[in-house]
Amino acid sequence: MVERRILSSAFSHLILILGVILVAFPIWITFVAASHDAVRMTQVPLPLLPGGHFFDNLYDALIRGVGNAREQSVGMMLFNSLVMALMIAIGKICISLLSAFAIVYFKFPFRMTFFWLIFITLMLPVEVRILPTFAVVANLGMLNNYFGLTVPLIASATATFMFRQVFLTVPDELLEAARIDGAGPLRFFKDILLPVSRTNIAALFVILFIYGWNQYLWPLLITTDKDMYTIVMGIKQMLEAAEESPEWHLIMMTTLLAMLPPVAVVISMQKIFIKGLTETEK
Amino acid sequence: MADVTLTKLVKNYDNTPVIHGIDAQFPAGEFVVIVGPSGCGKSTVLRMVAGLEEISEGQVLIGSQVMNDVEPKDRKIAMVFQNYALYPHMTVFNNMAYGLKIRKHSKEEIARRVNEAAEMLQLEKLLDRKPRQLSGGQRQRVAMGRALVRKPEVFLFDEPLSNLDAKLRHQMRVELKRLHKQLGTTMIYVTHDQVEAMTLADRIMILNAGRIEQIGTPDQIYHEPVSTFVGGFIGSPPMNFLSAAVDNTQLNFADYSITLQNRTPSTPEVTVGIRPEKIAITPTPHPHSIPVRIDFVEKLGSGKLLYTNLGDEPLVISIMNGMELENGEYHISLPEEDLHFFDKDSGQRLTT
């Protein structure tokens, strides 16, 4: 910056540091809590520095299992969440890519009607249509399996709308050149459209993966079998341990583990994610 | 090589006609330039030939085959677009090879054809690059290469040089002309730039508001424009137009009159056209000369453009270097044989 006065520089640093503390402190507490044993976590004051039980807790969470009777494995929950998040993200992307392709590139009767039909489902998230959706899923026998967990969440107006906008920025000449080159619609979709919107797909994948990972209400309704629990609802269940006091050290360990996959996805796809949101050249 | 025939070609957009029945025949091997102001429908005509635009009425024939319901890919045409329309994620090689891959040519055949085209267009060193790593002129050459490898019967160009700077445009124009000589393929070229039309074309088709204004060789179009529209569109600076009244052999302009020796237009009121370079200008008066006042001189390097008025109508005179001229009083004469007469109302050429 041009302005180099010490006072204003110090002030802006102060604000930034406060911001970082605000964001990072809860995560630090989580980490600290995950590294102490059960006894220490019941004493006041709560520790602010890490203890020596981190790996014991990790072993408990992943191998021995958590919950009243040590019947729940965090590993299993992580796996369930991963499958659910991936199915939702990939399913959403596939469906909305295809529907956006149809809406942008094909002329059929009531094209705009269909577009608006898709669009107004934005106003009907799962929370609003939860009863009928549950009834349908139950009648189809999809309780307690991955399809029940994901299918109702897959149809996505947001993603369809976004891909529509992306496709609209692709110059018409590209389609015409491909037509003259002899590419049919699906060939054009596969060879030209998908590669051209690659970065947008990646950006959307990041957003949708986190959306899927953070699902709480729907898995809570759909799963009664402990083997199908996802990690987000798993944490909540652990808090409600009936007679005992909650095992904070294990809960925090689980929380820490639950944070890792989204973080990994964001970090590994960060570059392409930013490109997808900012790049305009087609 | 194939000839292209358009018969009574009509295009309607939502019942509004934009092309009003075009009849034209382009013999095999000809370089045809379709030229006209923006919005005259020239690109629409080209796109109907390409099959990218539906034909409302009439027919497009390539060779002897009616193409109305034939898919673009089966019309044996190749097209070069104004913004190149290269596939951004493919290398230059793949851009050129894509059409051949779809047509399931063998790998060796594809490589041979692409390399051949690349050599012709000096693209050999760029085959591994992506379009965004290329300059405008290089992209344009890739777009041409993509058309070349297809070995089409007819090349279609939609304002291919419009996005290039003036120098590069000149260079590409020469290359295009050379390419046409080398290949001998029928080429249909759309542009709004009359210089491109004059330099490239074997024949020019001038469109005005969806109708053919004139078809002819560049010479015919330049020397015998059928209307004031053509005279004003072709030539830089364009033809001068002066209104005049005809009285026997007298041609009366606003303040001056000249006597015609051999030609007499058939209507009493005419628009007289004269090319800027045909006007003779001298510092001293002579018989039949008209005094003018030069307001403004534009130096082009190879010559000068002089701006003046005759009556209240503007007049541009183009002269070669060699004559020292300043703003001031001069005398001009309008040689009779270089005058074009047009109907005052319709703008159509009058026979004399």
Between residues B118 and B326, the one the model is more confident about: B118
The answer to whether residue B351 is domain-embedded is no
pLDDT tens digits, A26-43: 999 888 988 888 777 777
Contact B81 A198 (CB under 8 A): no
Q: How far is B151 from chain A (nearest CA, A)?
A: 12
Three-state DSSP at B337 gives helix
| Co-location of A59 and A78 in the same domain | no
| Confidence bin at B108 (pLDDT 50/70/90) | very high
Question: For a pLDDT cut of 90, what percent of chain B falls above it?
Answer: 45
B247 and B104 together in one domain = no
Domain-terminating residue out of B213, B232, B251? B232
The single-letter DSSP state of residue A217 is H
Domain CATH number, residue B208:
3.40.50.300
In a domain, B38, yes or no: yes
Give the mean model confidence (pLDDT) for residues B126-135: 91
Q: Is residue A194 part of a domain?
A: yes
> Tokens representing A279?
């790049």
Q: Nearest by CB to A180, from B78, B86, B90: name it.
A: B78
How much is the average pLDDT of B33-50?
91
One domain, residues B269 and B328:
yes
Together in a domain, A157 and A206: yes
Closest partner residue to A180 (CB to CB) among B73, B86, B90 is: B73
A81 and A51 part of one domain: no
Query: A14 pLDDT exceeds 80?
Result: yes
- Predicted complex: ipTM over 0.85: no
Please compute the mean of the pLDDT values over residues A191-205 and round it to a whole number.
90
List CB contacts (< 8 A) between B150 and chain A.
181
| Farthest CA pair distance, chain B | 77
For residues A216-243, give the mean pLDDT: 82
> Do B222 and B253 belong together in one domain?
no
User: A251 and A79 in contact (C-beta within 8 Å)?
Assistant: no
List the beta bridge partners of residue B309. Answer: B314
Domain count, chain B: 2
Number of Cα atoms under 13 Å in the Cβ half of residue A118: 23
Please state, in angstroms and rounded to a whole number, the distance separating the CA atoms of residues B260 and B136.
Answer: 53
Residues of chain A with a CB closer than 8 angstroms to some CB in chain B: 171, 173-174, 176-183, 187, 191-192, 195-196, 198, 281-282
Measuring CA to CA, which residue among B204, B179, B180 is closest to residue B192? B204
Among A41, A64, A87, give the residue marking a domain's end: A64
Pairing of strands B340-343, B290-294: unpaired
In this structure, the answer to whether residues A86 and A46 fall within a common structural domain is no
Could you tell me the residue range of the domain that residue B274 belongs to?
Answer: 238-343
User: What are A211-226's pLDDT values in tens digits?
Assistant: 999 988 888 888 888 8
Task: Give chain A positions within 8 Å (CB) of B99.
Answer: 180-182
A176 occurs within a structural domain:
yes
What is the secondary structure of A92-151 as a DSSP string?
HHHHHHHHHHHHHH---TTHHHHHHHHHHGGG--TTTTHHHHHHHHHHTT-TTSHHHHHH
- Report d(CA A188, CA B3) in Å as an integer: 30
Max Cα-Cα span within chain A:
75
pLDDT digits (tens, 9 = 90+) for A113-158: 988 888 888 888 888 888 998 999 999 988 888 998 898 888 778 8
Task: Of B134, B145, B136, give the one whose Cα is nearest residue B94.
Answer: B145
Same-domain pairing of A81 and A221? yes
Give the nearest partner residue to A171 out of B73, B85, B146, using CB atoms: B85
Residue with tokens 């890792």: A260
A161-180 pLDDT, tens digit each: 989 999 998 888 999 999 99
Residues of B engaging A, defined by a Cβ cutoff of 8 Å? 50-52, 71-73, 77-79, 81-90, 98-99, 102-103, 132, 146, 150
Percent of chain B scoring above 70 in pLDDT: 100
Average pLDDT, chain A: 86
Please say if the pLDDT value at position B103 is more than 80. yes
Whether residues B9 and B99 share a domain: the answer is yes
Interval A15-30: pLDDT, tens: 999 999 999 999 998 8
User: CA–CA distance from A73 to each of A19, A49, A146 (Å)?
Assistant: 35, 27, 18
pLDDT confidence band for A282 (50 / 70 / 90)? very low
Q: Are residues B35 and B93 in the same domain?
A: yes
- Same domain, yes or no: B242 and B207: no
Please check whether residue B349 lies inside any domain of the structure.
Answer: no
Residue A193: CB partners within 8 Å, gap ≥ 6? A101, A167, A170
Helix A231-239 × helix A248-278 angle, to 10°? 150
Position A267 in a domain: yes
Euclidean distance between the first and the last CA atom of chain A, given in angstroms as a whole number = 33
Instruction: Write down the pLDDT at residue B213.
Output: 92
ω before A45 within 30° of 0 (cis)? yes
Q: How far apart are CA B121 and CA B115, in angstroms?
A: 10
Same domain, B276 and B155: no
In a domain, B348, yes or no: no
Separation CA A34–CA A250 (nearest Å): 6
Task: Name chain A contacts of B190, Cβ cutoff 8 Å.
Answer: none
Residues B161 and B246 in one domain: no
pLDDT band at A89 (very low <50, low <70, confident <90, very high): very high
pLDDT at position A66: 67
Instruction: Take residue A130 and report the two structure tokens written for it.
Output: 């939860």
pLDDT at A280 over 60: no
Is B315 within a domain? yes
- Residues B109, B247, single domain; the answer is no
Q: Which of B232, B249, B283 is the last residue of a domain?
A: B232
**Containing structural domain, residue A40:** 6-64
Q: Which amino acid is at B54?
A: E
pLDDT of residue B252: 86
Residues A121 and A238 grouped into a single domain: yes
In a domain? residue B321: yes
pLDDT score, position B265: 82
Rounded-to-integer distance, Cα B314 and Cα B239, Å: 11
Instruction: Please give the mean pLDDT across all residues of chain B.
Output: 89
Q: Residue A69 falls within a domain, yes or no?
A: no
Q: Total domain count for chain A? A: 2
Rounded to 5 degrees, φ, ψ at B307 are -110, 130
Residue B48 placed within a domain? yes
B281 shares its domain with B259: yes
* Same domain (yes/no): A41, A145: no
Which pLDDT score is estimated for A243? 64
Same-domain status, A57 and A82: no
Let me know whether A99 and A59 are in one domain.
no
Tokens of B74: 């089966």
pLDDT for B249-279, tens place per residue?
888 887 788 888 888 788 888 999 999 999 9
Could you read off the pLDDT of B279-325 as tens digits, one per residue?
Answer: 988 888 887 788 888 888 888 888 889 999 888 889 999 988 777 77
Least confident window among A48-57, B2-11, B202-211, B265-274: A48-57
Q: Has residue A1 been placed in a domain?
A: no
Chain B residues near residue A186 by CB distance under 8 angstroms: none
User: In 3D, which of B204, B267, B209, B202 has the Cα closest to residue B234?
Assistant: B204
What integer is the mean pLDDT of B40-46?
91
Output the DSSP codes for B76-138.
TEEEE-TT----TTS-HHHHHHHHHHHTT--HHHHHHHHHHHHHHTT-GGGTTS-GGGS-HHH
B97 neighbors A178 (Cβ within 8 angstroms)? no
Q: Could you give the count of Cα atoms lying within 13 Å of B342 in the half-sphere of its Cβ?
A: 24
Instruction: Report d(CA B182, CA A22) in Å as an integer.
Output: 72
The CATH number for B294's domain is 2.40.50.140
Residue bearing tokens 């019967």: B153
Output the domain CATH number for residue A245: 1.10.3720.10
CB B206 within 8 A of CB B24: no
Within a domain: residue B258? yes
Check whether residue A158 and residue A96 sit in a common domain: yes
What's the mean pLDDT in A75-103? 92
**Residues of chain A with pLDDT > 70: what percent?**
93
pLDDT tens per residue across span B5-20: 998 999 998 888 899 9
Cα distance between residue A223 and residue A232, in whole Å = 13
- pLDDT computed for residue A142 by the predictor: 85
- The alpha carbons of chain B give a radius of gyration, in whole angstroms, of 24
Q: How confident is the model at residue A85 (pLDDT cuts 50, 70, 90)?
A: very high
More confident residue, A172 or B248: A172
The residue with tokens 């024949």 is B203
Q: Residue B43 in contact with residue B158, Cβ under 8 Å? A: yes
Which residue among B216, B232, B248 closes a domain? B232
- Residues in CB range of A187: below 8 A, 6 or more apart: A178, B102
Q: Are residues B62 and B198 in the same domain?
A: yes
Rg of the Cα trace of chain A? 24
User: Is the domain of B216 the same as that of B269?
Assistant: no
**CA of A263 to nearest chain B CA: how many angstroms apart?**
29
Question: Please, which residues bridge with residue B272 across strands?
Answer: B242, B341
* A229 domain residue, yes or no: yes
Task: Work out the minimum CA distance from A187 to partner chain B, whole angstroms.
Answer: 9
**Domain co-membership, A124 together with A207:** yes
Q: Do A107 and A241 belong together in one domain?
A: yes
Token couple for A157: 């107006």
